[in-house]
Structure formats: structure tokens, C-alpha cells
Structure 1
Amino acid sequence: MLNFEELKSFLNEKADQYNSPDFIADDPIQIPHRFTVKQDIEIAGFLAATISWGNRKSIIRSADKMLDIMGNSPYDFVLNYSEKDLEILQDKSIHRTFNGQDFVYFIRQFNKVYKDNESLENLFTVNDQETNFQHAIERFRNSFLEPEKHRSHKHISSPYKNSSSKRIIMFLRWMVRKDKRGVDFGIWEGIDQKNLSIPLDVHTGNISRKLGLVSRTQNDWKTVEELDAAIRKFDENDPAKYDFALFGLGVTKELL
């Protein structure tokens, strides 16, 4: 097992290696990278992150399908769709269990949000006494989802139900992290990246256990917070950069 300084140095090196523009081409983050308008980036990014489970090529194909339907102008589409546009979508298959009904639900909710807000950032603000996005994600869920139960609610998971909320945490990294590498956007100026966590899935969870960063066996919110505590000792101002390190180690299977 590496000691603290060795592990920090190793993870910094891996984060540095994978946090480069080369990363974009094979990752769902390529979807929002096609846009320059803030709201287009937010909508394309949120949709791509929402369907980010399974094979990355198939995620990108499914996100392409959604963008095509929206005429590759997501912000314009959510503001100006007609009911007929949405009717046609209801029975479409989009990505695994995210279907046309879910897509329509998200479009309607985006419409409501952007009528009252210039940016999705307004729905994710973190209060001074909070150290991560647990409560912000719940506030977002309460704003974005209708109170009535709907099948689409399952696509935005809840840290209050102990979900790792991996996809939304990944979306937040894209929007909030600011560096000069060109991968993450850093367009949400009002939110501090020190509050970001690592998007926890099977791969990042397994690598974190191999490195002794977490001891819990489940990939849930409690483990997200355990990993928070570990990685913030390496860099308290930019903890989410280690997502690149853990992801890269997962892809290359270097530690197997």
C-alpha cells in the first residue's frame, strides 16, 4: 500500500494524464462540447449525463438521437416546442429505460425552469454551511420534478435515499470545475468546486477500494462522503480532479 505522499503523487500524475482534450472524444462530455451557448451546454450536458450508464459509445449514440430530435438547438427547442413535437416523441425509444415519455417530461420541466431562471445553476446553489451537493441535489429535485409521482423521477436519483447520484455528480463536475485543460466547462461561476465529489460507480468504487481510499463495500452516498474525506486531503480546493485519475485507472485496468 502506498503511503499518503506516494498516493497523492500517483493520483496527481494520473489526473494530469487523463485531464486533457483527448479525453473528450470518447466520453459523453463530447455532447455538451458541441455548443457554445450556456443554456445549450447545460441542457445537452444534463441529458447526456442522465443517460450515462452502460457502454460509452451507446450513450453517445443515444444522446445524438436526442439532439437530432431537438434540431441540435436544445435551448431553442425547450423554449419553443409545439405539443405536436412532443406527441411524436412519446413512443420513441431513447436509451435503455430512458424512453420517449421521459424525454418529453424532461423537455417540459426544462421549459418551466428556463422561463423563471437564466441558468440551471440557480437550482444547484450550495449554502455556506454545506460541504457537498447532497442538499443542493435534493433542492434541485424538488424544483425540477413535479410533486406527483412520475416514472421519470427515477432518472434523477436522490442522495437522501442514499444513492451515490453518480450521473448528477458527474454533470456538476462538468458545469462547475474550472481549470485550463478544456475538458470541464466551469461555466457556473457562483458555485465553488471545492464542494464537488467524485461520481461513484462500479469502476471508481473498485479502484478507490484497491487504493485504500474507502472501506465501505456499497457504492452509495455514504461511500461518496467517505471518498470526499479521503480525496480532499490531497486537494481541498479541487477534489473532483481525481475523478480523472480513478476513471483512467479503471479504463486501463492498471491496478488489476
Structure 2
Amino acid sequence: MTPLELKEFLDEKVERYNNPNFIESDPIQIPHLYSVKEDIEISGFLAATIAWGNRKMIINNSKKMMDLMGNSPYDFIMSHNNDDLVRLESFVHRTFNGQDFSVFIKSLKNIYENHGGLESIFDKHQGKDSMQNAITEFKKIFFEIPHLNRTEKHVSDPSKNSSSKRINMWLRWNCRKDNNGVDLGIWKSISPSKLSCPLDVHSGNVARKLSLLTRKQNDAKALAELDENLRKLDATDPVKYDFALFGLGVFEGF
């Protein structure tokens, strides 16, 4: 395909998948349950954190997390006590367990009390054309409180060559306003032009078949290569092509 043909092909796939029907089978349905900004960004962060494995299980366990917080995540985080955290001990999603959940609650409270909230951290550390350094700084702040070492693996770090798939997905939810009822666009301080495509097995394989990616590993270096090529297709909204790559891989077996 010529560059123009590739863009037209992918734009058509974006139109097909970037619509409300996408929500039904995707973890993005969790932040869509809420209307208050803090509830949206917290529920989204927690759902994205456990977004690996079977998608139905991810959604079910994300709903369990919300239930354990009384379906008021921001209020729970800001007003919880030790007895409330005991309720979380039974939670498990693959390697993320109740102990990790408790650390996340305490870390999020510290972020809202001492760092101005989640958006403030990413706004402060955003780069000229990328959010990857901001993700690294976010992890440092997230674990500045006493915590279990085992929990650190649940927040990725691009400086350690991670593609940070789940955080990049969550940033898409928060920063991109698609006007189609999917991405929520609640963060106004970060331009969608700085976002990166959530790189996973599906999107990576499709990107390679379309010659958008040559690197074999799905790591930070591959993400940088994919970013460069997607920005050539749409510099203002490159991450919209996540819908195309994911849809081609998951729904069409491309």
C-alpha cells in the first residue's frame, strides 16, 4: 500500500471501531460508569492496571474493585481507614492481589493530598511531543510512600524499556475526546498529539504486517518507532489508530 492508501485503510477502520459499540466489550466501560472527574480517572486507572488477560475477566474484576470501594472510588480513597482496607484483601486478578490494591489506594490518596491529583502530575511532567517521561515520573511519585516491593511491577516505566501499554491506554481514555462517546477526554491540559498507541500483541502484530513497525519486541523502542509512523498519518490525533490496529487484530484476525 502507498502511504495514502494505508491512511485511507486505517481511517476507515477507525470509523468502524471508534463508536459506542466498542465500549460493550472493553474495560473503558468502567470509567463510563461515573460522571465526576476524579471517579472517572481513578476507576479508569484501576481498570487499566489489571487490563491483561481475558477481557471479560478484566471487566468483571474491575467491577469487583468498584464494588469493594462502594462504587465511589474517590470518596473511598480520601476517607478510607484500615478496616476498609481489610475488605480489599480478598481481591485477586492474576498477579495483582489485595495487598497491591491497598498500596494503590494509599498511593492515590497521597497523590490527591500532596500532588494536586493525577492530571496535575502528568501535566507537570509532559514532554514536548510525548508522555513517556511523564509516565516514568508518575511511577516515582506513586511509590514515594512506604509500599511493598512486589507492587512496583504493576506500574510500568518507559525508562526501563517498557511499552507501558496499560498506562498509555488510560491516557488515551483521559486525554482524547473523540466526540463518538468512547474516549472520555476529561483532561484538558494534555494534547492528544502527545499520546502513544497502547502497544500489545494484537496492535504490534498488525502494525508489523502494515510495515508501521519493524522491531520484533513490544517495548519502548518499538513504541517510539510506531509513534513516529502514526504521527505521519495524523500528527494531531495519532492514537486514534489504536482503534484500527486493535480492531483489525482482535475482531478481524488480520
In the superposition, the TM-score normalised over structure 2's length comes to: 0.96
Higher relative contact order (CA 8 A, sep 6+): 1
Structure 2 CA distance for aligned equivalents of residues 49 and 128 of structure 1 = 20
The 2-side partners of 1:101 and 1:230 are apart by 40
- Hey, what's the Cα distance between the residues in 1 that align with 2:251 and 2:120? 37
**CA–CA separation in structure 2 for the residues paired with 1:57 and 1:127:** 34
How far off its partner does 1:119 sit? 3.3
State how 1:51-200 maps to structure 2 within 5 Å: 51-90=50-89, 92-125=90-123, 130-146=128-144, 150-200=149-199
Q: Which residue of 2 aligns with 1:215?
A: 214
Show the counterpart of 1:236.
Answer: 235
Identity within the alignment, %: 55
Greater CA drift, 145-154 or 192-201: 145-154
**Whole-angstrom distance in 1 between the partners of 2:125 and 2:144:** 23
Indicate conservation of the 8 Å contact 1:197/1:228, yes or no.
yes
| Structure 2 unmatched runs, 5+ | none
CA distance in 1, matches of 2:167, 2:136: 11
Residue type at the aligned position of 1:140: F
- Against the structure 1 CA distance between its residues 177 and 216, is the aligned structure 2 distance closer, same or farther, given a 3 Å change threshold? same
**Counterpart amino acid of residue 242 in structure 2:** D
Higher share of residues assigned helix: 2
Give me the whole-angstrom Cα distance separating, in 2, the residues matched to 1:147 and 1:106.
Answer: 10
Code of the aligned partner of 2:104: F
Residue 72 of structure 1 aligns to a residue whose secondary structure is: coil
How many residue pairs get matched?
A: 253
- Report the Cα offset of residue 123 of structure 1: 1.0
CA distance in 2, matches of 1:18, 1:88: 38
Shift of 1:128: 7.3
User: How has the CA–CA distance of structure 1 residues 45 and 129 changed in structure 2, closer, same or farther, with 3 Å as cutoff?
Assistant: closer
CA pair 59-254 structure 1, distance change in 2 beyond 3 A: closer
- TM-score with structure 1 length normalisation? 0.95
Contact 2:196 2:227 in 1 (8 A): yes
Equivalents in 1 of 2:126, 2:134: separation in Å? 12
Structure 1 contact 124–136 (Cα < 8 Å) conserved: yes
Contact map agreement 1:126 1:132 (CA 8 A) in 2: no
Partners of 2:119 and 2:169 in 1: how far apart? 14
Shift of 1:17: 0.8
Q: RMSD between aligned alpha carbons? A: 1.4
Structure 2: distance between partners of 1:110 and 1:30 = 21
Q: 1:146 to 1:248 in 2, by over 3 A?
A: same
Q: Deviations over 1:60-109 (max 9, x none)?
A: 0110111010010001100111111112323x132110000000000011
Question: Is the partner of 1:124 in helix, strand or coil?
Answer: helix
* Matches of 1:246 and 1:100, distance apart in 2: 33
Cα pair 1:49 1:171 within 8 Å, conserved: yes
